[in-house]
Amino acid sequence: MNQRSSCVVVGVFEGRGQAHDALRSLEASGIASKQVGLALRHGELMETAGTLAAVDVPEHDLVGGLIGLGVPLAPARACAMEFERGRAIVAVRTRRRVPHAAQVLQAAGALTVLGS
């Protein structure tokens, strides 16, 4: 998928359980797993998957990974601050289903949903 023709919706979740529920809900709603990313913190360790998998290496960070997906700097920094507080991040890269993805994230319990 061409990143220029897609948008990113990011949800911030209180914990990993809600984030994994959101992933299942997104997939059940027809959003392909290759369009979805996850970032969780386990103490000093980071767990990433999907579109956010590249942020789990020393030369990348969550801010850079989100910006790489198309999230503007200020919202990317806000998500990274929430992540550092122990919250989980779910990112969805989609072309035409931005409102749908945002609704699914909200229904899954996202504390914050940001769209780009």
Instruction: Give tens-digit pLDDT for 42-98.
Output: 888 888 899 898 776 665 688 988 998 899 999 999 999 999 899 999 999 988 888
Number of domains in the chain: 1
- pLDDT at 59 (0 to 100): 59
- List the CATH number of the domain containing 84: 3.30.70
| Domain containing residue 8 | 3-115
Q: Which residue has the tokens 């914990």?
A: 15
Q: At what angle do helices 73-84 and 62-69 cross, to 10 degrees?
A: 140
CA dihedral 86, 92, 97, 101 (to 10 degrees): -20
